[in-house]
Amino acid sequence: MNTALSSNSPPEVGATLQRLRLARGLTLEDLSRIAGVSKSMLSQIEREKANPTIAITWRLANALGVQIGELLSSETRMPETIRVLDAHETPTLPGTHAGYTLRILGPMEMAGKYEWYELTLAPGGLLESQAHDPGTSEHMTVLHGAIEVEVGVDRKKVKLGGTARYPADQNHVLRNTGKTEAKALLVVCHR
Read off the pLDDT of each residue in 63-91 and give the average, rounded to a whole number. Answer: 75
Read off the pLDDT of each residue in 114-122 and give the average, rounded to a whole number. Answer: 94
The CATH number for 40's domain is: 1.10.260.40
pLDDT recorded at residue 48: 86
Higher pLDDT, 52 or 124: 124
Residue 91 buriedness (CB in 10 A; 0-12 / 13-18 / 19+): middle
Q: Which amino acid is at 191?
A: R
Q: Please check whether residues 36 and 91 belong to one and the same domain.
A: no
- pLDDT tier, 1 (very low <50, low <70, confident <90, very high otherwise): very low
Residue 80: inside a domain, yes or no? no
- pLDDT tier, 33 (very low <50, low <70, confident <90, very high otherwise): confident
Q: How far is CA 11 from the centre of its chain?
A: 26
Residue 81: inside a domain, yes or no? no
Structural domain that includes position 107? 87-189
Q: How far is CA 87 from the centre of its chain?
A: 14
Which of 52, 46, 38, 36 is CA-nearest to residue 108?
Answer: 36
Contact between 130 and 136 (Cβ < 8 Å): no
Last residue of a domain, one of 72, 106, 121: 72
Q: In the chain, pLDDT over 90 holds for what percent of residues?
A: 42
Read off the pLDDT of each residue in 116-131 and give the average, rounded to a whole number. Answer: 95
pLDDT recorded at residue 108: 74
- How many domains, the chain? 2
Higher pLDDT, 7 or 87: 87
- pTM score of the predicted model: 0.61
pLDDT recorded at residue 125: 96
Residue 153: inside a domain, yes or no? yes
pLDDT recorded at residue 78: 56
The CATH number for 143's domain is: 2.60.120.10
Q: Please check whether residues 14 and 53 belong to one and the same domain.
A: yes
pLDDT recorded at residue 81: 79
Last residue of a domain, one of 72, 98, 122: 72
Last residue of a domain, one of 24, 40, 72: 72
